[in-house]
């Protein structure tokens, strides 16, 4: 079974530029999560989709971050414009059903973003 795929793996941009990340979850997984992990900290949930609907985006900085999940499969996370404090690893995860705290999340390798 293929795991969660993410691209790119690394990205370096200058502040005020835009950047987009892509995630392909495990086939058949209904729920997709985007996390931000700053160096030395635990992952922080940015947004959770169930199929193509948003379940939780309470910690997403909506003035600069946006995310979509077209057709309930792939997802993109965009930052526009980027700030220095956005430097982090952006992790995508998926779970089979979602919406329950007992779901196991499967994580992708992450995208390491450096904002200069």
Partner 1 sequence: GQQVMQIPQYQHVQEGEDFTTYCNSSTTLSNIQWYKQRPGGHPVFLIQLVKSGEVKKQKRLTFQFGEAKKNSSLHITATQTTDVGTYFCVGGFQKLVFGTGTRLLVSP
Of 27 and 71, which CB lies nearer to partner 1 in the complex structure?
27
Q: Counting Cβ atoms within 10 Å, is residue 66 exposed (0-12), middle (13-18) or buried (19+)?
A: middle
DSSP character string of 79-103: ESS--GGG-EEEEEEEESS-SSTTP
Nearer to partner 1, 73 or 89 (CB): 89
CB of 109 to partner 1, least distance (A): 6
Give the C-alpha separation, 99 to 112, whole Å: 27
Residues of the shown chain interacting with partner 1 in the complex, contacts defined by CB under 8 A:
41-45, 48, 56, 91, 93, 101-110
- In the bound state with partner 1, the residue whose beta carbon lies nearer, of 81 and 112, is 112
Shortest CB 42 distance to partner 1, Å: 4
């Amino acid at each position: 079974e293929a795991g969660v795929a993410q691209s790119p793996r690394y990205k370096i941009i200058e502040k005020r530029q835009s950047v987009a990340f892509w995630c392909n979850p495990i086939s058949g997984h209904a729920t997709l999560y985007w996390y931000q992990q700053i160096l030395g900290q635990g992952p922080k949930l940015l947004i959770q989709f169930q199929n193509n609907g948003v379940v939780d985006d309470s910690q997403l900085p909506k003035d600069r971050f946006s995310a979509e999940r077209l057709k309930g499969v792939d997802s993109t996370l965009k930052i526009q414009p980027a700030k220095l404090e956005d430097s982090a690893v952006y992790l995508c995860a998926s779970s089979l059903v979602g919406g329950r705290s007992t779901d196991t999340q499967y994580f992708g390798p992450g995208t390491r973003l450096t904002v200069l």
